[in-house]
């Protein structure tokens, strides 16, 4: 890009780099785009004011993905979620006890779990429990507690107490953001606390993430990437993001395109 590029052109380039790399650094952008750091900082402020990125000291991170109500999330990115769900469900072994967190992607995983293999699924999500009741040969337990309609799951002290009494083989943690350096994140504090309890109660953890969640952060940290045993990503996940997680020793599975 030439130094006389218009601010709008620079900002589109910055957004593209942000999507590919998961973060941008002001000094590096200034050198790459041949403009002053002040110009870059103005660009980042403009983008942040539009909700397109999150400005931090020295650069910017992707904006935290929106978290609409669960019913709306079920209708979003269905094909991508189904491809991810098939691969994630294939990681469950016969006879395992599975902790399945709330979320539209985890609902898709529940629908893909193999039948008649002696699975026991414990969930805090009523929609997942109802879905699994129709599946053959899967024992279902529903965690009690305060039902949060937006999350579509039970949270709070009662739910935490129930999870603390469990020992599971594998958990599927729903996350609104996951970053190779900063870890796994949630928007809601009580939801994050329940997810941390699920992690503590499980021998291994599988995280399934659509592309919009990669490189982002939110308000409440669930845990570091060292807690992820397998990360299931879309077929076209940005290579820079995939490489960043691989450098941290995370086992990565890529869903195939249909």
Please check whether residue 186 lies inside any domain of the structure. Answer: yes
Q: Mark whether 39 and 116 lie in a shared domain.
A: no
- Whether 140 maps to a domain, the answer reads yes
Residue 120 lies in a domain: yes
Q: Tell me the C-alpha distance between 60 and 50, whole Å.
A: 13
Around Cβ 36, how many Cβ atoms within 10 Å? 12
Q: Is 184's pLDDT higher than 90?
A: yes
- pLDDT for residue 49: 83
Q: Which domain covers residue 142, as residue numbers?
A: 70-254
51-66 mean pLDDT: 77
**Predicted pLDDT at 24:** 86
Local confidence band at 215 (pLDDT 50, 70, 90 cut-offs): confident
What's the structural domain count of the chain? 2
Instruction: Kindly state the percentage of the chain with pLDDT values over 90.
Output: 56
Provide the pLDDT for residue 195.
Answer: 96
pLDDT (tens digit, 9 = 90+) per residue, 80-118?
889 999 999 999 999 999 999 998 899 999 999 999 999
Considering the domain architecture, whether residues 41 and 159 belong to the same structural domain is answered as: no
Q: 250 to each of 7, 50, 75, 179, 246, how far by Cα in Å?
A: 37, 33, 29, 12, 5
Most confident of 45-54, 147-156, 247-256: 247-256
Residues 176 and 95 in one domain: yes
Assigned domain for 31 exists: yes
CA atoms of 133 and 128, how far apart (whole Å)? 9
Q: Are residues 117 and 75 in the same domain?
A: yes
**Does residue 216 share a domain with residue 195?**
yes
Same domain, 171 and 246: yes
Shared domain check, 179 and 241: yes
Q: Which of 57-71, 183-197, 210-224 has the lowest mean pLDDT?
A: 57-71
Query: Residue 174 — φ and ψ, nearest 5°?
Result: -75, 135
| pLDDT for res 23 | 80
- Structural domain contains residue 2: no
Q: pTM score, two decimals?
A: 0.77
């Amino acid at each position: 890009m030439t130094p006389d590029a218009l601010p709008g052109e620079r900002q589109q380039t910055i957004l593209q780099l942000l999507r590919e790399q998961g973060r941008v650094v002001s000094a590096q952008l200034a050198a790459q785009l041949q403009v002053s750091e002040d110009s870059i900082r103005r660009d980042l402020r403009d983008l942040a004011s539009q909700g397109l990125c999150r400005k931090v000291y020295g650069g910017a991170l992707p904006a935290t993905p929106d978290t609409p109500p669960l019913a709306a999330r079920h209708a979003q990115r269905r094909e991508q979620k189904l491809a991810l769900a098939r691969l994630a469900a294939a990681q469950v072994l016969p006879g395992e006890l599975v902790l399945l967190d709330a979320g539209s992607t985890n609902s898709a995983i529940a629908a893909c779990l193999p039948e008649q293999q002696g699975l026991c699924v414990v969930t805090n999500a009523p929609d997942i429990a109802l879905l699994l009741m129709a599946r053959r040969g899967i024992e279902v337990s529903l965690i009690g507690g305060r039902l949060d309609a937006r999350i579509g799951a039970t949270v709070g002290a009662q739910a935490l107490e129930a999870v603390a009494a469990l020992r599971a083989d594998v958990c599927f943690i729903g996350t609104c953001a996951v970053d190779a350096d900063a870890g796994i994140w949630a928007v809601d504090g009580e939801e994050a606390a329940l997810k941390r309890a699920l992690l503590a109660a499980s021998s291994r953890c599988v995280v399934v993430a659509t592309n919009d969640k990669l490189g982002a952060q939110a308000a409440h940290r669930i845990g570091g990437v060292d807690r992820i045993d397998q990360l299931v990503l879309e077929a076209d996940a940005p290579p820079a993001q995939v490489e960043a997680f691989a450098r941290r020793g995370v086992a990565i599975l890529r869903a195939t395109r249909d």
